[in-house]
Amino acid sequence: MTICAAIQSKFTFCFPLTSLAIAKDSVKSTPNIDEPSRIGDIPLFKTLLLAISAGLILVGCESKPEAEKPATDTAPSTQIDQEWHPSTLSEQTIAKANAAVTDYRKCLGEEIKARAEDRADPREIANSILKNCENRLPAIKSAFDAENVPAAISERYLRKTRSQGAQSVLRTVMGVHAERAGQEEEAKATTSGNTKQ
């Protein structure tokens, strides 16, 4: 005699009635999830997890994405679209902006050479260098304003240029200070090594 269980009318598993003999000593109060199930060597929990995952995947595959609705309201173009397009920027304006950026970077380089050996805090040195070269940045803004580039775009470009300059200056000044500190430590180690001998 066997007991057959049908799962969703697709799978049928039959178990011999003798394997389901229940004795008082073999009854457990709580089932162990990690014990092998009657289906095979796979634990019951893993079997259920696999079945749920497969069901979710099938349901997900059957769903269709909503079609995008075409825009019915043709809004007037924004102010940026009306004023400026990247392709309308003249070569002269690009050359002026690039020359101003080069001048700014050259100023930063000269100030770094002049102030990098100072013994003050590297952040203070970097701030003073950036303040000394800040007057070179308005040339970029004026070049963009001559072509009617929106203020938001030109300000973003100035912030990017300023940020890149600040990173470069701080990296260089801190590198010089770290190198000097390393050389001083070596000098102390050699002088203390010579005095001990």
| Confidence category of residue 172, pLDDT binned at 50, 70, 90 | very high
Q: Which two tokens stand for residue 97?
A: 């902006």
Give 148-153 contacts, CB < 8 A, sequence gap 24+: 148/83, 148/84, 149/83, 149/84, 149/89, 150/79, 150/80, 150/83, 150/84, 152/80, 153/80, 153/84
- ∠ Cα 33 38 39 (to 5°): 105
- pTM for this one? 0.53
Tens of pLDDT, residue by residue over 100-111, are 999 999 999 999
Tens of pLDDT, residue by residue over 32-73, are 555 554 555 557 778 878 888 888 887 776 666 666 665 555
In the predicted model, is pLDDT for residue 183 greater than 60?
yes
